[in-house]
C-alpha cells in the first residue's frame, strides 16, 4: 500500500525564501497569509491528504463509481465522509471572497493545498477541484443574483459544480458543438443535447450540482461565435434559496476508463433542462477562456502531484529493497545485498524525478502567484505584466508538467521492477491516473499550439520578451557570483536555445504556419526546461542565502538543493539543444507524407 | 474496437530487399525459406493474428484469468480455441528441428511471425512464446532422453513451458534465491520453494506444463555459483511417454496486474516436486543466460508489436476524426472540419512512431538473423561474429524498443484525445500491456548495465568495434552516392557521438565504475538511435534501388520510405548529442546525494 507525506516544508521554502511572498502583502488577502497561518493551513491540508484521502485511493480505484438504473451515481466507500471533511475544513473556499463565505486568502495557497489533495487521491480531488473552477466562472461572469444564488453553497461545498464542453463529435473544436438553447418568455433557456466526459457529472457527495454548459442559442451564428454559457442546476433553486424541482438533466452512463476510476466521468443528457445565461449571448467561449488559465494550471499541478507521490514511494522502495551490490564494492557487506539506491542508474532515475518535481513546484507556485497579482493588484502595469506572465506560462505548466509528470510516474514505477506492475503496490494506479492530465483541459498538443500560435505573438511578443528580460536580468545580477556560476552558465545556454528557436519561428513561421505547428511541442518543452532551469537558479540563490546565514542547523537540506540543481543542469537541461535542432529542421518532412502513406 | 493488419509487405521488403536473406541459403533451413514460402507463412500468420487473436484481445483483458480454489486456472473465453489454432497451424515449431517435429525454418521467421501475434494479442502470444523459450533451453542443455521426452509434445504445442526464476525477495539478483533441490537416490531431485511472477504458470490450454526452475542443490555454494536448472513437469511423464501422476507443483494465486490480464501471472508453490537436472549442477545460471539473448530479443519485439498496433489505430483515427482546420487553410472546405491528420503536430507524432517502428522492425529482424547465423553457420568465424553482434544488439533491442515502444503507444493513445483514455477504444489497453516489456526479462536499467558493463568490454570490445566498422564501411561505400547524402551525414554525426561516448567510458569508467553506471541508460539509447539510423540508411539504399529499377508500379511506397527516413534523421537522431552530454557529465552529481536526501 503506497504512502504519502505532503511536502509542507518545500512549499514553505518556496513561498517564504524563494519567492518572498511577504513582498506582496499590499495585495488583498496576502497580509492575512502570514508565515504562521500558511504553515498551519498547509500542515492541516497535509494531514487531511495523508490520513483521510490516501487510504481511500486504492480502494476507490478498485471499487470505482456505480451508475444505477435511475441515473443516480454512487461514489466509492468512504468518499462521502471524506467530502464531508472537505466541507467541514472549508477547503474549497480558502481563496474565495470573504463576503461569499470564503477566506479570501491568496489563490496561490489553494494551489499549494490542491497539490497535496491530488497526490493523495487524484480521483477524489477532482470533485472539489471542479467546484473551484465553476465558482471562478460564476464570480467572473455571473450576475449579482447568480452569485448570491449559487456561490455561498458552492464555496461552502454543499453544492458541486461541473464544466460541460465536450460532445461526442467535438472536443478541441468547440465550434462544432450542437447542444441547443431555446429562449423562454421568462428569460431562461431550455437546454437540449448530450455532453460527454463530464467529470463529476453525477455523484452522491453534494445536495446539488451546478452544471456550466456550453450551448448554441437558436439562430446563433455557426462556429465558435455562436456559443453561449449557461448555468444548469441539477436541482432548481427557489427564490428563497431552497431547493426546488429536479431539472431535466441526468447521467446517461459512466465511462470505463484507464484510471481515475473513483471520479465519475459521465455522459450527461440535457432534455429541455432549464438554464440561465451567464455573461453575454454568443460570448460563451471567451467566458470559458478567461478561466482557462486557472483550470490548466490546476491540471499541470496534477502532473506534479502524481510525480511527487510516485517519487516518494519509489524512493522508499529503493532504500529498502536489497538486490545486487554497488559497482564500487559492497556498501552493506553485513546484509545479503545492498539496497538498490546504491546503483547509479536508480539514483539517476530518482534524481531526474526529484529535480523536476522541486523546480516544477516552484514553477507552479510562481505562475499561481502571477495569477494572484494579476487579479488583485491595483497597479495596472503590475497587474498586466502578471497577467502576461500567467498567460504565457500556463500552457507550459499544463503541457510540460503533465508530460514530465507522467514520464516520472512511469520511471518511478520502473524502480519497483515487477512489483511496480502489480496492483497491490499502487504504482500502476499512479501511472494510470497520471495519464489523464496530459489529455483533458486541452490535450498537450493543443497547449503547444496555444503557446506558439496565440501566446507568443500576442501583443507583439510582449509576454515572452518580458520573460527573457527577467531571466537575463537574474543572470546579469549574479554574473559575478562564483557560487552561481555552475548553474548560471547552463541556464544561459538553454535560454539562448529558446531565443534562437523564437527567432526561427519569427523568420520561418509567418509565411508557413506549418513550421510553427511542426515545432510547437518541441518549443513548449524547450520553454519548460528553461523555465525549470530558471526556477532552479532561484532555488540555488535562496539555498545559498540560507547556508550563508547558518541554515538553522538544516544545512544538509540546502546542500542537497545544490546537488539536485547541478544534476538538473548537467542531465536534464542539455535536451534544449535537441529541441532546437528539431524545431529548426522545419515542417518539410513532417508535411511531405501523403495521407495514404500513414 | 481496435483493428490490426499484419505488416506482411514490410517484413518481405526487409528480408528480401534490405537484408537479402537468400544470401544465407547455405545455412540449414534457409533454402527452404524461399520468398514464396515466407510470403505464404507470413500471410497465414497475419490472418491468424487479425482474425483469431485480435477479436480476443479486449474481451480477454476484461475477463482476465481466474484461479479456482483447487489451483486450476481458467483463461478467458475463446483462448482454448485460439490455442488449438496455434497447435493446428504448427506455429510454435516453425523454427524447431525437423527431427523433433518442427519445420526447421530460420528463427528469423519465427520472430517475424511473433511480432504479428504480439500485436494482435500480447497476453495470448505469451503462452506460445514462453514454450519456445523453454524448448530452446532443453534443446541447448537437455540430455537426449530429456529432449525426446519433452520436446516433440512442446514443439507440437500440446505441452507448454515456463521459466521460474523470480522469488519474492529476489528478481534481478538471482544469487539470493532460496528454492531448494534435494537429490534423490534415483538421480532426480525434490524441489521446494516459492516462485513469483510466473507467466502462464498454470492455465487450461495444454495437457501438461514443463516448468524450468532455478533452485539451489543442498550444500551448493552461496550466490550465483550455486544455482542449478531443473525440469519440473506439472504432470510427470511415464517411461512410455504417457502422462503419469500429478507433480507437487501448484499455482497458489494469480497477480492482479496493470495489463496483460489474459496471461496468468502465477505464484507457483513447489512442495517436494520431482525435478530433473538440466545441464550441470551449479551451472543453472549460465544455462539460463545462453537463452537470454533470444528471450530478450522476443521481449524487445513486443515493444515494437505494441507500437505497431497502437500506430495503426491512431493513424486510422487521425484520418477520420474531423476537428479544426489546417494551419494553412481548410483542406476539406466541404466538410465541417478537416481530419486531424492535416495538423503538423499530429503528423509529427505519427511519423515519430512510424519512423521507429519501421527501423525497429529492421533492427529486430537483423538481430534475429545474426542469431540464426551464429547457431547455424558452419564457418566458425562467421558464426562467432554473428554471435558477437547478437550479444551486443540484444540489450539494445530489449531496452530501447520497449522504452520507445511504450512511449509510442502512449503517443498513439494521445492522438485520440479523451477517447484514448476510455476502455472501449482499446488504446488504453495497449498502453497498459506495453508497459510490461520494459520490466520483465531484466528491467531496462539492467539491459543498460548488461550493455555497458558486460557486452562492451567483452573480448576487448570486439563486438562494438565490429559494429562501428560495419556502419563506417557502409558510410564509406556510399560516400559518393548523392542520393544517400542527406541520410549518411546525420548518421555519421550520430556514430561519432557513440564513439565519443565509448571513448569517455574507456577513459573514465575503469577507475570509477559509477561513471559507467550513471551513463548506462543514456548509452543504451544513444546506441539504439545509431542502430536505428543505420537501419534507415540500409532501408533508404534498398528503396533507392527499388525506385531505380521501376519499383513495380509501387513507387509511392518507396518514396514514403525516403520521407520517413528523412524525418528520422532530422527529428529523432539529434537526441544523440543530448545523450552524449549527459554521459560526459559523469557520476558526480548522481552519487553526491546522501541516501537521506532522497
Nearest CA in chain B to A312: B598
Q: What residues contact B56, with CB distance under 8 A and at least 6 apart?
A: B76, B77, B78, B79, B82, B121, B124, B262
Q: What is the DSSP letter of B221?
A: P
| A430 to A77, A260, A360, B444, B520: CA distances (angstroms) | 20, 9, 18, 20, 27
Q: How many helices (H) and strands (E) are present in chain B, helices listed first?
A: 18, 11
Distance from CA of A522 to the nearest CA of B (A): 10
Give B588→chain A minimum CA distance, Å.
9
A418 vs B: CB within 8 A? yes
Alpha carbon distance A196, B175 (integer Å): 53
- In the block, cell 539470493 appears at B176
Q: Which residue of B has its CA nearest to A438?
A: B414
Rounded to 5 degrees, what are φ and ψ at B157? 110, -5
* Min Cα–Cα distance to chain B from A579, Å: 8
B313 interface with A at CB cutoff 8 Å: no
Instruction: Round to whole Å and give the CA distance between A527 and A521.
Output: 10
Residue where the block lists cell 521446494 = B192
C-alpha A521/C-alpha A523 separation (Å) is: 5
* pLDDT score, position A363: 98
Q: How far apart are CA A86 and CA A121, in angstroms?
A: 13
For an interface test with B, the pick among A224, A344, A569 (most B C-beta atoms closer than 10 Å) comes out as: A344
Q: Which residue of A has its CA nearest to B584?
A: A570
Backbone angles phi, psi at B226, to 5 degrees: -120, 30
List of residues 6+ apart from A287 with CB closer than 8 A = A137, A140, A141, A229, A278, A279
The answer to whether A558 faces chain B, any CB pair under 8 Å, is no
Q: Which residues of A touch B349 (CB under 8 A)?
A: 445
- Nearby residues of B439 by Cβ (< 8 Å), 6 or more positions away: A414, A417, A418, A420, A421
- In angstroms, rounded to a whole number, what is the distance separating the alpha carbons of residues B346 and A590? 9
Which listed residue (B99, B441, B545, B575) is catalytic? B441
Using a 10 angstrom Cβ sphere, with 0-12 exposed, 13-18 middle and 19 or more buried, the burial of residue B503 is exposed
Per-residue pLDDT of chain A (598 residues; tens, 9 = 90+): 899 999 999 999 999 999 999 999 999 999 999 999 999 999 999 999 999 999 999 999 999 999 999 999 999 999 999 999 999 999 999 999 999 999 999 999 999 999 999 999 999 999 999 999 999 999 999 999 999 999 999 999 999 999 999 999 988 899 999 999 999 999 999 999 999 999 999 999 999 999 999 999 999 999 999 999 999 999 999 999 999 999 999 999 999 999 999 999 999 999 999 999 999 999 999 888 877 888 999 999 999 999 999 999 999 999 999 999 999 899 999 999 999 999 999 999 999 999 999 999 999 999 999 999 999 999 999 999 999 999 999 999 999 999 999 999 999 999 999 999 999 999 999 999 999 999 999 999 999 999 999 999 999 999 999 999 999 999 999 999 999 999 999 999 999 999 999 999 999 998 999 999 999 999 999 999 999 999 999 999 999 999 999 877 899 999 999 999 999 999 999 999 999 999 999 999 999 999 999 9
**Smallest Cβ distance to B417: which of A351, A423, A439?**
A439
8 Å CB contact of A344 and B423 = no
**DSSP state string for B524-587:** HHHHHHHHHHHHHHHHHHHHHHHHHTTGGG-HHHHHHHHHHHHHIIIIITTHHHHHHHHHHT-S
Confidence (pLDDT) at A292: 81
- A481 CB near a chain B CB, below 8 Å? no
Residues 439-458 of A with CB under 8 A from B: 439-440, 443-445, 448-449, 453
Residue A455 Cα, gap to closest chain B Cα (Å): 16
Quick check: A423 and B256 CB within 8 A?
yes
Q: A383 — contact with chain B (CB < 8 Å)?
A: no
Tell me whether A563 touches chain B (CB under 8 Å): yes
**B323 closest CB neighbour out of A171, A428, A574:** A171
Q: What residues in B contact A175, CB-CB < 8 Å?
A: 337
State the count of interchain CB pairs (< 8 A) between A and B: 266
- Provide the shortest C-alpha distance from residue B32 to chain A (in Å): 33
Are A431 and B435 a contacting pair at CB < 8 A? yes
Mutation for B interface: A343, A426, A557, A584, most B CBs within 10 A? A343
From A369's Cα to the closest Cα of chain B, the distance in A is: 28
One DSSP character per residue, B254-320 reads E--BSS-TTS-EEEEEEEEEEEEEESSTTBHHHHHHHHHHHHHHHHHHHHHHHHHHHHHHHHHHHHH
B417 closest CB neighbour out of A172, A176, A453: A172
**Helix H or strand E segment including A272:** strand A265-278
Nearest-by-CA chain B residue for A352: B590
The residue of chain B nearest to residue A580, with distances taken between CA atoms, is B574
Comparing CA positions, the residue from B264, B129, B254, B161 lying closest to residue B203 is: B264
Catalytic residue among A10, A294, A308, A441: A441
Which chain A residues touch B514 with a CB distance below 8 Å? Answer: 327-328, 344
Which residues are within 8 A (CB) of A535 and not within 5 positions of it... i.e. 6 or more apart? A359, A360, A362, A363, A366
Helices B344-376 and B555-567, interaxial angle, to 10°?
A: 100
Cross-chain residue pair B421–A564, CB shorter than 8 Å: no
Distance, CA of A157 to CA of A274 (rounded, Å): 23
Instruction: Tell me the helix, strand and coil percentages in chain A, rounded to 5.
Output: 60, 15, 25
Report yes or no: A487 at the B interface, CB cutoff 8 Å.
no
Nine-digit cell at A395? Answer: 500552457
| Beta strand B228-233 pairing with B159-164 | unpaired
On chain A, the residues whose CB falls within 8 A of the CB of B435 are 410, 413, 421, 428, 431
Optimal mutation site among A167, A413, A433, A578, interface B, most CBs of chain B within 10 A? A578
Å from B143 to nearest chain A CA? 33
pLDDT in tens, A510-531: 899 999 999 999 999 999 999 9
CB contact under 8 A, B345 and A563: no
In chain A, residues 185-244 whose CB comes closer than 8 Å to chain B: 196-197
In chain A, what residues touch B578 (CB-CB under 8 Å)?
A: 574-575, 577-578
Q: Measure the CA–CA gap between B149 and B240, rounded to whole angstroms.
A: 9
Using the beta-carbon criterion (under 8 Å), do A422 and B255 form an inter-chain contact? yes
Residue A441: active-site member: yes
The yes/no answer to whether this complex scores an ipTM above 0.95 is: yes
Q: Which of residues 70-129 of A touch B (CB under 8 A)?
A: none
pLDDT (tens digit per residue) in B439-455: 999 999 999 999 999 99
Q: What is the 3-state secondary structure (H, E, C) of A198-254?
A: EECCCCCCCCEEEEEEEEEECCCCCHHHHEEEEEEECEEECCCCCEEEECCEEEEEE
CB contacts, 8 Å: B448 with chain A: 345
- CA dist list (Å): A269 to A253, A441, B45, B56: 9, 21, 45, 33
**Across the interface, which of A350, A428, A589 has its CB nearest the CB of B567?**
A589
Residue A364's alpha-carbon distances to A40, A108, A471, A475, B279, in angstroms, are: 21, 9, 17, 21, 59
The tens-digit pLDDT sequence of chain B (598 residues) is 899 999 999 999 999 999 999 999 999 999 999 999 999 999 999 999 999 999 999 999 999 999 999 999 999 999 999 999 999 999 999 999 999 999 999 999 999 999 999 999 999 999 999 999 999 999 999 999 999 999 999 999 999 999 999 999 988 899 999 999 999 999 999 999 999 999 999 999 999 999 999 999 999 999 999 999 999 999 999 999 999 999 999 999 999 999 999 999 999 999 999 999 999 999 999 888 877 888 999 999 999 999 999 999 999 999 999 999 999 899 999 999 999 999 999 999 999 999 999 999 999 999 999 999 999 999 999 999 999 999 999 999 999 999 999 999 999 999 999 999 999 999 999 999 999 999 999 999 999 999 999 999 999 999 999 999 999 999 999 999 999 999 999 999 999 999 999 999 999 998 899 999 999 999 999 999 999 999 999 999 999 999 999 877 899 999 999 999 999 999 999 999 999 999 999 999 999 999 999 9
B5: distance to nearest CA of chain A, Å? 13
Q: Quick one: residue B461, left, alpha or beta (phi over 0 = left, psi -120 to 50 = alpha)?
A: left
What is the rounded distance in angstroms from the CA atom of residue A409 to the CA atom of residue A394? Answer: 21
B412: chain A residues, CB-CB within 8 Å: none
On chain A, the residues whose CB falls within 8 A of the CB of B337 are 173, 175-176
Asked if residue B14 lies in contact with residue B111, where contact means CB atoms within 8 angstroms, the answer is no
Amino acid at each position: 500500500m503506497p504512502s504519502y507525506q505532503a511536502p509542507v516544508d518545500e512549499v514553505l521554502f518556496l513561498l517564504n525564501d524563494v519567492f518572498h511572498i511577504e513582498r506582496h502583502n499590499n495585495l488583498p488577502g496576502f497580509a492575512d497569509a502570514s508565515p504562521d497561518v500558511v504553515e498551519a493551513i498547509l500542515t492541516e491540508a497535509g494531514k487531511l491528504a495523508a490520513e483521510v484521502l490516501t487510504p481511500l485511493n486504492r480502494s476507490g480505484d478498485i471499487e470505482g463509481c456505480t451508475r444505477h438504473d435511475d441515473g443516480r451515481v454512487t461514489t466509492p466507500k468512504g468518499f462521502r465522509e471524506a467530502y464531508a471533511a472537505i466541507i467541514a475544513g472549508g477547503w474549497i473556499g480558502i481563496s474565495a471572497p470573504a463576503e461569499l463565505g470564503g477566506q479570501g486568502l491568496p489563490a496561490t495557497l489553494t494551489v499549494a493545498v490542491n497539490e497535496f489533495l491530488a497526490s493523495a487521491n487524484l480521483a477524489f480531488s477532482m470533485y472539489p477541484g471542479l467546484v473551484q473552477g465553476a465558482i471562478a466562472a460564476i464570480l467572473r461572469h455571473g450576475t449579482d443574483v447568480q452569485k448570491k444564488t449559487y456561490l455561498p453553497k458552492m464555496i461552502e461545498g454543499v453544492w458541486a459544480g461541473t464544466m460541460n464542453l465536450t460532445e461526442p463529435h467535438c472536443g478541441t473544436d468547440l465550434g462544432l458543438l450542437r447542444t441547443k438553447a431555446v429562449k423562454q418568455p421568462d428569460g431562461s433557456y431550455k437546454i437540449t443535447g448530450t455532453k460527454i466526459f463530464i467529470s463529476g457529472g453525477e455523484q452522491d457527495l453534494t445536495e446539488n450540482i451546478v452544471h456550466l454548459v456550453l450551448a448554441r442559442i437558436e439562430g446563433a451564428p455557426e462556429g465558435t461565435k455562436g456559443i453561449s454559457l449557461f448555468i444548469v442546476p441539477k436541482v432548481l433553486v427557489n427564490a428563497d434559496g431552497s431547493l426546488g424541482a429536479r431539472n431535466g438533466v441526468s447521467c446517461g452512463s459512466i465511462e470505463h476508463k484507464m484510471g481515475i476510476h473513483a471520479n465519475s466521468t459521465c455522459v450527461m443528457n440535457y432534455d429541455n433542462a432549464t438554464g440561465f445565461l451567464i455573461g453575454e449571448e454568443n460570448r460563451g467561449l471567451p467566458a470559458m477562456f478567461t478561466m482557462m488559465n486557472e483550470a490548466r494550471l490546476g491540471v499541470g499541478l496534477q502532473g506534479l502531484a502524481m510525480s511527487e507521490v510516485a517519487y516518494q514511494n519509489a524512493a522508499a522502495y529503493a532504500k529498502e529493497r536489497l538486490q545486487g551490490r554497488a559497482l564500487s564494492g559492497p556498501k552493506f557487506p553485513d546484509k545479503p545485498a545492498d539496497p538498490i539506491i546504491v546503483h547509479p542508474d536508480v539514483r539517476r532515475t530518482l534524481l531526474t524525478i526529484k529535480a523536476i518535481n522541486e523546480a516544477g513546484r516552484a514553477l507552479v507556485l510562481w505562475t499561481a502567484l502571477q495569477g494572484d497579482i494579476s487579479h488583485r493588484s491595483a497597479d495596472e502595469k503590475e497587474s498586466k505584466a502578471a497577467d502576461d506572465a500567467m498567460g504565457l506560462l500556463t500552457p507550459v505548466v499544463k503541457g510540460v508538467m503533465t508530460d514530465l509528470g507522467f514520464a516520472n510516474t512511469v520511471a518511478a514505477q520502473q524502480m519497483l521492477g515487477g512489483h511496480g506492475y502489480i496492483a497491490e503496490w499502487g504504482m500502476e494506479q499512479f501511472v494510470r491516473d497520471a495519464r489523464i492530465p496530459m489529455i483533458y483541459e486541452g490535450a498537450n498538443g493543443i497547449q503547444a499550439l496555444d503557446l506558439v500560435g496565440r501566446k507568443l505573438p500576442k501583443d507583439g511578443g510582449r509576454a515572452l520578451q518580458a520573460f527573457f528580460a527577467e531571466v537575463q536580468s537574474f543572470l546579469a545580477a549574479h554574473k559575478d557570483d562564483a557560487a552561481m556560476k555552475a548553474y548560471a552558465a547552463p541556464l544561459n545556454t538553454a535560454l539562448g536555445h529558446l531565443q534562437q528557436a523564437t527567432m526561427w519561428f519569427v523568420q520561418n513561421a509567418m509565411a508557413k504556419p506549418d513550421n510553427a505547428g511542426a515545432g510547437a511541442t518541441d518549443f513548449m518543452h524547450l520553454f519548460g526546461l528553461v523555465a525549470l532551469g530558471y526556477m532552479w537558479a532561484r532555488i540555488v540563490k535562496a539555498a545559498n542565502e540560507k547556508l550563508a546565514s547558518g541554515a538553522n542547523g538544516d544545512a544538509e537540506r540546502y546542500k542537497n538543493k545544490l546537488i539536485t540543481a547541478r544534476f538538473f543542469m548537467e542531465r536534464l537541461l542539455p535536451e534544449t539543444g535537441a529541441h532546437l535542432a528539431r524545431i529548426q529542421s522545419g515542417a518539410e518532412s513532417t508535411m511531405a507524407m501523403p495521407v495514404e502513406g500513414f
